[in-house]
Amino acid sequence: MTKLYAVYGASGCGRSLMPVARQQLVRAQDASEIVFIDDSLAEITRVNGHRAMNYTTFLDETADEKAVQIAIANSRVREKIANRLEADGIQLWSIMADNVVLMDQIELAAGAALSPFVSITSNIKIGKCFHANLYSYVEHDCVIGDFVTFAPGVKCNGNIHIEDHAYIGAGAMIKQGTPDQPLVIGRGAVVGMGAVVTKSVPTGVTVVGNPARIVESK
């Protein structure tokens, strides 16, 4: 059976995740090819040693099974592509680096990308297409929605709920909640790099600073 894997996106995010994708296949002793998909490409080219092509060309490639990691930081774009892949019968592909630490009772939905040095501890539920960049961690009893993005070094402590499409910037630190009262990061909220989040963040707002405060849009 032939399999073809792809990393969707050949910009910074995709080129950082391709080595993670390669590690994933080496661990699985799977010698299949991994290509880049990038819709700005008119013809097949090479990026960092891999064939790169647009989505239409990828669909025309012959393989019994195709699986795609959507390596695009913008979660709305990630969702749109995930829906298109589903409609075309192509699997979402989860990848993780060799040194990722996964502890007990973790439910991780399809399409995740866990970069080097990510740790996910115990009793944690994570939705579709989660991106956890370098050195991020998720502590016990967290619930993370679909299409959530962690930039490098995010510290997500225990009993935190993060709703769909939230974006957590580099080095942000989120205070733990309690089992009765989890700290909630609302749907589509943005936490700025370096923020220290001490209480729940409403849906759709941006917070920055220590302690994190809502930034009014100009």
Ligand X SMILES: CC(C)(COP(=O)(O)OP(=O)(O)OC[C@H]1O[C@@H](n2cnc3c(N)ncnc32)[C@H](O)[C@@H]1OP(=O)(O)O)[C@@H](O)C(=O)NCCC(=O)NCCS
Nearest-Å Rg of the Cα atoms of the chain is 18
**Measured from the CB atom, is 53 or 190 closer to ligand X?**
190
d(CA 192, CA 183) in angstroms, rounded, equals 17
Which residue from 158, 169, 177, 182 is in contact with ligand X, where contact means CB under 6 A?
A: 169
Do the Cβ atoms of 163 and 145 come closer than 8 Å?
yes
Do the Cβ atoms of 9 and 21 come closer than 8 Å?
no
Do the Cβ atoms of 92 and 85 come closer than 8 Å?
yes
Which residue from 151, 160, 162, 185 is in contact with ligand X, where contact means CB under 6 A?
A: 151
Which residue from 26, 44, 59, 215 is in contact with ligand X, where contact means CB under 6 A?
A: 215
14 binds ligand X (CB under 6 A): no
Which residue from 202, 204, 209, 211 is in contact with ligand X, where contact means CB under 6 A?
A: 209
> With CB under 6 A as the contact rule, which of the stretches 30-38, 59-67, 181-189, 190-198 interacts with ligand X?
190-198
> With CB under 6 A as the contact rule, which of the stretches 56-64, 118-126, 179-187, 191-199 interacts with ligand X?
191-199
Contacts with ligand X by CB under 6 A: the residue count is 13
**Phi/psi at 44 (nearest 5 deg)?**
-70, 130
Which residues are part of the catalytic machinery?
A: 140
Length of the chain: 218
Binding to ligand X, residues 104-133 (CB under 6 A): 133
208 binds ligand X (CB under 6 A): yes
Distances (CA, A) of 158 to 27, 126, 177, 188: 30, 14, 6, 20
Which residue from 148, 192, 197, 201 is in contact with ligand X, where contact means CB under 6 A?
A: 192
170 binds ligand X (CB under 6 A): yes
d(CA 96, CA 101) in angstroms, rounded, equals 10
Do the Cβ atoms of 175 and 192 come closer than 8 Å?
no
Do the Cβ atoms of 133 and 151 come closer than 8 Å?
yes
Please report how close the Cβ of residue 136 comes to ligand X at its closest, in angstroms.
11
Residues that bind ligand X (CB under 6 A): 133, 151-152, 169-170, 190, 192-194, 206, 208-209, 215
